[in-house]
Structure 1
Amino acid sequence: MVLIKHRLQQLLKLPLPELEISECTLCSAYFPKPTSDTTIQGVGDFLDLEKLCVLGRGNHGIVYKVRHGPTLAIYALKIIQQDTNEAHLSHETEILNCIDSPFVVKCHGIFEPRAGEKAILMEYMDAGTLDAMFKANGPFSETSLAHIAYQVLNGLKYLHEHNIVHLDIKPSNLLVSKDMKVKIADFGVSKIVHGIGSKAATNYHNMCEGTHAYMSPERLDSHTFGSGYVYAGDVWSLGVTLLELYVGHFPFFPAGKRPSNWMELVLVICFGELPSFPKEASEEFKSFIKCCLEKEPSKRWTVSQLLSHPYVCLGENLGK
């Protein structure tokens, strides 16, 4: 235990949300003139983008709701301050440039408005995030979560098949439309994986980036739980996310309780018991969550296996 504590002290810090979504914050109307002449297909001039409000702020940038003047089309625009020491920035733009799935937020273009900045123009999801929806309306029903699980799993299947691991699945990174289409967003800490299969390799030391509360045991303590199953961490994060949206609070602690420090959080996730379920939870839902929250990554179900789970099949039928 002393060795584990020492390793964790080297790797971890208190978990903080990567992106907090709040009510639209009014801001100044237009962006400063870009230093480059970069343009985006469908958007002829960067100066035609009018800022409407701030959608969210995080360590990796600010997301604005913007309107394209000539067409009146609405987009989301993420502005990132570049740091040459932050390799994840190049990964995010590289990933967004090559993905195309109905279950992943669409990128319309990437450009440099000023020296030291990156701007990512993305589709706007008119209902915000699952986190915002939860805060406004309370916990989700099992039926709604089955439909959400089906969509997120399809998004993860697409990413994993294209050698991309997201590494930060959580309610605030799952965007939603008013007709309940759900899409994966925010690839700020995502990685491009080298190799094929569930044990494909990547730099596991860098996989501690993200939101620690949603990290799997092997990401928090790879010495104990292994470091080969890089895609399995996304499945764990999805399980935590769905259970949180169901019970109405972070599931590894009682309602209203927060970890007093990062060590308490990590010990509970890595070595504590599986969170308890409300008595009204169905056997199908409990089975699905247990398949996601298997501590041993080699025993955790894969995305493809979960898509055939009876609980997820319910969500698939809802989408037809």
Structure 2
Amino acid sequence: MAEGSELNQESRAKWPTCPDDYELQEVIGRGATAIVQAATIKKTNERVAVKRINLDRCNTSLEDLLKEIQVMSQCQHDNVVRFYTSFVVQEELWLIMKLLDGGSLLDVIRYTMQRGNCRNGVFDEIAIATVLREVIKGIDYFHSNGHIHRDIKAGNILLGTDGSVKIADFGVSAFIASGGDNTRDKQRHTFVGTPCWMAPEVVGQQPTGYDTKADIWSFGILAIELATGTAPYHKYPPMKILIMIIQNESPTLDMCAEDPDQYKQYSKTFNKMIEQCLQKNPTDRPTAKQLLKHDFFKKAKDHSYIAKHLVLKFQERKAMEEKLANRRKLTHMRSIRVIDDEEWTFSSGSDDDSSSANEDSTNPKLPPLENPTVQNIEELIGKPDAVAKPNPPVDDSTSQLTVQEMTSGIKDLSIDNNRIFKFTLRIRNTQGELNDIKFEFNKSNETVKDVVSEMVSANLIHKLDADLVTSIMSQMVENSTDISTTFALKSHVDSSSTPDDKLLIGFAQLSLNI
């Protein structure tokens, strides 16, 4: 490590240590005490990543932060994110690192699951083998130099546009060393990491502690994550996850499947590797160096395969969103209001201008949801009255009948072609957050299908729900009355959450404000 450290010190000399030399740009990651932003060095126009750690809110001691910096500054490997320099800015510690524009593995997983049918697997086995081979190379580098990463997961694996794969987030990494005589303490006793990826010996706080084999367990969970899209037990509360890791049998792909044949596309070799990594007894797990020789990695390709099959598709989506953002002046905030056919603006849920205030006084608000901040269904356990039985799937004919029933007996209104229809679509995004999408429709210069297509392009609604939303919205325009209807989403395929029309889990609510 000494030679690499000297090289790093020499290279760090060219990186500015003044915040004014950096132009901060988009946020690419956010945690409880830190935020990661893309930035450009003003003098060289080079793009970097800036991890800004709030020292006032950070529970980590300064000594531990310095250790983190020390770990990063010593790491020189193709599969580990490159660290450049660090400095303090008021109450923040800024870490300057190499920027990877391909996104994290978690980003790519979410995009793939959102855009395609992933019931039988998120990535093909070649892609998984190619990614995991690069990850285990980085883990082997860590272990060979006396480090445990302790938080190996898809969110901490970053991709370059060239298909490179790099391990990031050294915030919980640790030396396996103690004392000043370079003697090694082969065990750690600190309880750190993310619950779903924690090894049993980390969770159970064994008297003997844990060692590098804890990363091998996390690597096995990562393999399942790349195949199924989620880690085992992800739908449970943290404390229950910890208990299940200790008490349950080791996770397998079959255990994560809804039916026995769901993940049959994956080979016995892949399943065997997962089984070897997820041995309850750490001594039974292979080392990173042994894993590199596993037969599973014989099917791995080079970086170009990752660039083409994972990164490029993700980049195409980002490019599409940026193009739409420039055309529609989109900004990522709470809710959306379509002003006209050429400009979209967002608001945080309340507008500053007087016209919005007048609108609020004349248009009825949507009824409040019960417990809208629920993050998972377990928070509703013990509250049977808060969970409604899911309605049957809604097709076009059902939605039409619902609107007709709600508007029966009401005198038809003559529709002026220049009239503006004001809608609110209440729906959860891919992260489960509840959003109010406010938009206007002018019958004289656009069609309902046009408006819905715009929302699909902006990823505000799923393409599977486009026809249904179009049908319901068209009926509302035709009947022209102040109504609201709740309907089941055809895109809802999350088996871990129970559909609920009151909490709008698997449902959405469209309202026309007259």
Within a 5 Å distance, the mapping from 1:1-320 to structure 2 comes to 41-44=13-16, 45-82=18-55, 83=58, 86=61, 87-114=63-90, 116-138=91-113, 139-194=122-177, 200-204=185-189, 206=190, 208-223=191-206, 227-252=208-233, 258-259=235-236, 261-273=237-249, 274-277=251-254, 278-315=263-300, 317-319=301-303
Distance 2:217 2:272 in 1: 14
User: How much does 1:202 deviate?
Assistant: 4.3
**Once superposed, which parts of structure 1, at least 4 consecutive aligned residues long, lie more than 4 Å away?**
none
Change in Cα spacing, 1:294 to 1:92, as seen in structure 2 (3 Å) is same
User: How much does 1:67 deviate?
Assistant: 0.7
| Structure 1 unaligned spans of 5+ | 1-38
User: How much does 1:106 deviate?
Assistant: 0.1
What is the letter of the counterpart of residue 276 of structure 1?
L
Q: Write out per-residue CA displacement over residues 65-115 of structure 1, whole angstroms, 9 at most, x where no aligned residue.
A: 00111211110000112257535322211111111111100011111223x
| Structure 2 unaligned spans of 5+ | 1-10, 114-121, 179-183, 255-262, 305-514
Paired residues of 1:40 and 1:110 also in contact (CA < 8 A): no
Distance 2:127 2:20 in 1: 40
Paired residues of 2:197 and 2:231 also in contact (CA < 8 A): no
Distance 1:148 1:269 in 2: 25
Q: TM-score, normalised by structure 2?
A: 0.49
What is the letter of the counterpart of residue 94 of structure 2?
A
Q: Aligned-residue CA RMSD in angstroms?
A: 2.2
Paired residues of 1:52 and 1:66 also in contact (CA < 8 A): yes
What is the letter of the counterpart of residue 299 of structure 2?
L
What is the letter of the counterpart of residue 305 of structure 1?
Q
Q: Write out per-residue CA displacement over residues 141-166 of structure 1, whole angstroms, 9 at most, x where no aligned residue.
A: 11111111111111011111111110
**Could you say what secondary structure the match of 1:70 adopts?**
coil
Q: Write out per-residue CA displacement over residues 138-193 of structure 1, whole angstroms, 9 at most, x where no aligned residue.
A: 32211111111111111011111111110011111111112321100001111111
Q: Write out per-residue CA displacement over residues 243-282 of structure 1, whole angstroms, 9 at most, x where no aligned residue.
A: 11211222346xxxx11x3342123222213333322220
User: How much does 1:291 deviate?
Assistant: 1.2
Distance 1:318 1:84 in 2: 40
Paired residues of 1:102 and 1:183 also in contact (CA < 8 A): yes
**Could you say what secondary structure the match of 2:282 adopts?**
coil
**Could you say what secondary structure the match of 1:227 adopts?**
coil
What is the letter of the counterpart of residue 245 of structure 2?
I
Paired residues of 2:106 and 2:154 also in contact (CA < 8 A): yes
**Could you say what secondary structure the match of 2:245 adopts?**
helix
Distance 2:164 2:107 in 1: 15
**Could you say what secondary structure the match of 1:298 adopts?**
helix
Q: TM-score, normalised by structure 1?
A: 0.78
**Could you say what secondary structure the match of 1:67 adopts?**
strand
Q: Write out per-residue CA displacement over residues 179-213 of structure 1, whole angstroms, 9 at most, x where no aligned residue.
A: 32110000111111117xxx943440x2x122111
Paired residues of 2:29 and 2:36 also in contact (CA < 8 A): yes
Distance 1:304 1:40 in 2: 30
Q: Write out per-residue CA displacement over residues 11-37 of structure 1, whole angstroms, 9 at most, x where no aligned residue.
A: xxxxxxxxxxxxxxxxxxxxxxxxxxx
What is the letter of the counterpart of residue 227 of structure 1?
T
Aligned length: 268
Asked which structure has the greater CA Rg, the reply is 2
Distance 2:137 2:46 in 1: 27
